């Protein structure tokens, strides 16, 4: 018995978002949201929108606070989960 590939598993139908790294996906999402001003959020509330786990988002936010020169990222408060504050730098 041999394994066959279906079109959905051969990579031919991947979207542009699938080609972005997790960090790029999160950064793009944040930049789009802060076009309207500053943003406060908890990772668990945006996890589905960026297709990442809250834990992955938290780890990336710490990284972005040091590396994303055009974003100002701040750990704003902690009540049952970290609230992040993001605005344009």
**What domains does the chain contain, in order, with CATH numbers?**
21-31+38-88 (1.10.10.10)
Instruction: Tell me the C-alpha distance between 32 and 26, whole Å.
Output: 10
Q: What pLDDT is stored for residue 4 in this prediction? A: 35
Q: What pLDDT is stored for residue 18 in this prediction? A: 57
Q: What pLDDT is stored for residue 5 in this prediction? A: 36
3-state secondary structure (DSSP) of residue 9:
coil
> Quick one: which of 55, 58, 84, 59 has its CA closest to 71?
84
The whole model's pTM is what? 0.72
């Amino acid at each position: 018995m041999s394994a066959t590939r279906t079109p959905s598993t051969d990579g031919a139908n991947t979207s542009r978002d699938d080609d972005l790294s997790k960090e790029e996906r999160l950064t793009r999402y944040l930049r789009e949201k802060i076009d309207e001003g500053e943003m406060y959020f908890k990772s668990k509330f945006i996890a589905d929108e960026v297709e990442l786990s809250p834990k992955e988002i938290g780890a990336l936010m710490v990284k972005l606070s040091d590396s994303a020169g055009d974003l100002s990222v701040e750990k704003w408060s902690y009540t049952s989960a970290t609230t992040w504050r993001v605005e344009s730098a």
